[in-house]
Amino acid sequence: MTIRATRRGFIKSSAGISAGYFIGGSSSGRAEQSPSEKIRIAGVGVGGKGDSDISQAGMFGDVVAICDIDESHLENKAKQMPKAKKFFDFRKMLEEMDKGIDAVVVSTPDHTHAVAAAMALRLGKHVYCQKPLTYTVKEARVLRELANEKKLCTQMGNQGTAHPGLRTGVEVIRSGAIGDVTELHVWTNRPVWPQSPSVTKRPAEIPVPASIHWDEFIGPAPYRPFGGDKNQRGRYTYHPFNWRGWLDFGTGALGDMGCHTANMAFMAARLGYPNKVSATSEALNTETYPGWAHVILEYPERDGLIPVKFHWYEGKKDGKLVHPPAELQAKVLRKDEKLVSSGSIIVGTKGLLYGPNDYGADVRLCPQKDYEEFKNPPKSLPRNRRGDDAGQKEEWIEAIRKNDPKHAMANFNYASVLTESLLLGNVAIRLGKPFEYDGANMSIKDIPDANHLLHREYRKGWTL
């Protein structure tokens, strides 16, 4: 049985703690917004992914303010949205526009996600925030708590959640088609940006380009000069994309792709917090993420489900992508078929599910001969009408109108737990040794001195 949806087609088309994405009745005391009322939206970060994010959100509301630390990005977007007021500091935008904004889209580098989202939530604004939800484990907890306290509608930008193929895949696994889930294997071809082993130290300082507000880019991170190689500036400069590999700004390959590629498996297995975390990787340096890593997150029994071991593979080792064991690959690949560069394999007690897709939106039950007569189970999850990136924004706006935070499937109750789990993998990479995790108390049990890795100190003027 194959549920087919290509990445190209997807892009072209535009219980417990992990159960927060189910549709349900309104749980807040807020009055529902009239369908005739326009949701007033502000965008924080309108270049790169932020460009499409704010444009898509604008399909379902009025964009009244836009913000970016790069004036060239800001001006480009202003040409498309001339009525939106322009800012380069989101703090000033939220303070000045407070009464004129209903919702905020955050599409900045990872290290400023939480600071911007938390300020918006505290001001009573609904928030759509790009993946990974946060830069640190603690930030994920704080955003979830704020969203629940304020009864606000939220959504994380892992757009595969909106795809019908992902939701069908979740239903298939939960139906018991492959038996009890025992292992998850998820891999990526990232990093595709400069980091170790080719980059392990900071570039030489160069003057800040006139269009860039560098202090606002740094935000809560420790200050450093703008840098780059004068001959290879596009490769080494932090802005606008290569920040992903730097420890102070990004969350590496795990943060970049984990919330996409692990999403379907995580949701289907109803995972919460792991109780054991370990990692092996390339030797570490003080500036960038390693060139390759293999992370293992172990999840205990939960609501009658057996323990699960989750494997994550990233980067290249000895010139080859780090992938699941060859014997496991052989169980899901057809004759002369090669493993995709980014995908997932879910192992059950009765069979396997292969997801050759970044978003888990294209899945295949294996061995194929055992599932020739298989029929999809009845639908238990709602379907997004669009099933694409824009559809995820529409679902978020619908949640706001319905006054129902659960209507948005990647709301912060779900997204924060997924993000926290993945970021614990980065903690294990940096710690260099296995640890036991107490999810209820957000604590590394057996290495108390390592708990500082669950959060960071913020630069003055940039608080959570």
Q: Is the pLDDT of residue 69 over 70?
A: yes
pLDDT band with cut points at 50, 70 and 90 for residue 236: low
pLDDT one-digit tens code per residue, 324-336: 999 999 999 999 9
Helices (H), 5-68: 7-12, 49-57
Report the percentage of the chain scoring pLDDT > 90: 89
Helix (H, G, I), strand (E, B) or coil at 328: helix
Q: Domain 14-162+387-410 in CATH: superfamily?
A: NAD(P)-binding Rossmann-like Domain (3.40.50.720)
Picking from 10-19, 104-113, 189-198, 224-233, which range would have the lowest pLDDT averaged per residue? 10-19
What is the average pLDDT score of the chain? 92
User: What's the DSSP call for residue 341?
Assistant: S
Average pLDDT over residues 187-204: 94
pLDDT value for 235: 54
pLDDT one-digit tens code per residue, 363-405: 999 999 999 999 999 999 999 999 999 999 999 999 999 999 9
Distances (CA, A) of 226 to 237, 250, 264: 8, 16, 38
pLDDT one-digit tens code per residue, 420-446: 999 999 999 999 999 999 999 999 999
Contact 203, 183 (CB under 8 A): no
Report the percentage of the chain scoring pLDDT > 70: 91
pLDDT band with cut points at 50, 70 and 90 for residue 9: very low
pLDDT band with cut points at 50, 70 and 90 for residue 20: very low
Distances (CA, A) of 399 to 159, 307, 390, 405: 16, 33, 14, 6
pLDDT value for 37: 82
Q: Is the pLDDT of residue 230 over 50?
A: yes
pLDDT value for 228: 82
Domain positions in the chain are 14-162+387-410
Structure tokens at 276: 């054991």
pLDDT value for 34: 59
User: What's the DSSP call for residue 165?
Assistant: H
pLDDT band with cut points at 50, 70 and 90 for residue 252: very high
Contact 92, 30 (CB under 8 A): no
Q: Is the pLDDT of residue 31 over 50?
A: no
Q: Is the pLDDT of residue 284 over 80?
A: yes
Structure tokens at 463: 């608080």
Phi/psi at 37 (nearest 5 deg)?
Answer: -85, 135
pLDDT one-digit tens code per residue, 70-129: 999 999 999 999 999 999 999 999 999 999 999 999 999 999 999 999 999 999 999 999
pLDDT band with cut points at 50, 70 and 90 for residue 338: very high
Cα 64 from Cα 252, distance rounded (Å): 32
Average pLDDT over residues 344-369: 96
Q: Is the pLDDT of residue 8 over 70?
A: no
Cα 56 from Cα 152, distance rounded (Å): 20
